[in-house]
Amino acid sequence: MDVITRQGGFRGAPTSSGWSFKGVPYAAAPVGEARFAAPRPPEPHEGVADATEYGATVSTPPQRSAVIDALLPDPRRPGPNGLNLNIWTPDVTGRAPVLVFVHGGGFATGAGSTTAFDGTAFARDGVVAVTVNYRLAAEGFAFFPDAVPNRGLLDVVAALEWVRTEIANFGGDPARVTVCGESAGAMAVCTLPAVPRAKGLFHRAISQSGTAHHVHTVERARLVAAELAAELGTEATAEAVAAVPEDRLHAASNAVMNRLTSGRDPRFAAFTRLVFQPVVDGDILPEHPYRAMTEGAGAGIGLLIGANAEEYGLFVAPTGMGDKLTEDVLRATTARICPDPDAMIAAYRAGRPDASAAELFVEIQSDWFCVAPTERLAAARRESAYAYQFAWRPSTYDGRVGACHTLEIPFVFDTLADPWGSGLRGTEAPQALADEMHAAWVAFVRDGDPGWPVHGASGTVHRFGTPSGTVTDPWARAREAWAGREL
């Protein structure tokens, strides 16, 4: 099947439910002087380009944890242009609603071509699915005086612009676009309503385990850039960093991420967020996105938002951290995110008097980083937001991993047969739950209603588990524990 676009033709491959087109460039290659520039229009080509295999991935630092890399491997496909996207369509002559998925990875790793993000099931159910690669780490988010900021965020905007212009050629409806993301991808999704250049490019949004709270001030972003330059022995400019070999830049990026988030260097005691992330620069991102959304930005955009019950279980049980988490470590890690750690720990222990230090660590960190921000944003948009909680817990790691970060992804995409993440979910992941969750996402993309009431004043949340059901205010503890505190 061939499709003709403004940049040239693309030949796709048949799937069990339509057609796929992979590795389609939505912007020019970010190389040379374009490496730290805003994304540029894709280069036209003659004839029909092969789009039957995934394209190049953007160049990123390797995962800092070998355990996480083994469980959730990032595909690495070398090539000249990682700014490409993948499309699954039921019918190139149709007019189906569109889902655009932005992957996670802490704005430092990940790829839209991860096999668990295969969109065949969405196409089967009448949705055109699109997954996106965007620039990450220093190339995407480091703040330099001689470069446009928020390059990775602008890449996502460029992909959405491409979808608006070209998706009709692939059987999609540009007037019915839902942008969806997980983890850092969800943070990007929740930031987009505050980005003027993204206005009108999407009509609904889905946020999985990420919100609008994860951005840097210019001052904090300059600190990151200065540390990166010091690690490299260069000036803190795009020109100087661009002259550094790629592997050395990646090693330095990982070193800086480790140093700034480890808590061991007193200079960065208050540095508790992601090292590379969007920057409130006053232009591309004029104001804090959470404040913008609570003040009406994106008011007409329907929102499906949620979190997993034990987000931080991913970083504790599989890595062996749980065996090393003493009361002293629990206090030290809690002290990094709130000024009164003893009171915070006591508040959580009151509700779970028999919980171990590792279990309290998972709950406190999960609530701080993800659950409490999710509750706040859902409450702020309560009449237009549908909320969910993913609560299915596998038996892996003696049941200690819980409903952890990333666990819901293959349920959403209906890709439980894919090996990605299978070490977390084991062999007993219920297909019926994947059927239910995938159907809810399809319904929201198609109709704007996943099948349960809006969050509302009562705090309605749909809990996905065995069994599933609608519950009221499951995030009360997180809300109360973090009330009045900055997240």
CA distance 205 to 159: 15
Q: Which of 405, 438, 455, 462 is catalytic?
A: 405
59 is catalytic: no
103 is catalytic: no
Q: Which of 113, 183, 209, 253 is catalytic?
A: 183
216 is catalytic: no
Q: Which of 139, 166, 310, 311 is catalytic?
A: 311
Alpha-carbon separation of residue 171 from 1, 10, 451 (angstroms): 12, 14, 25
Catalytic residues: 183, 311, 405
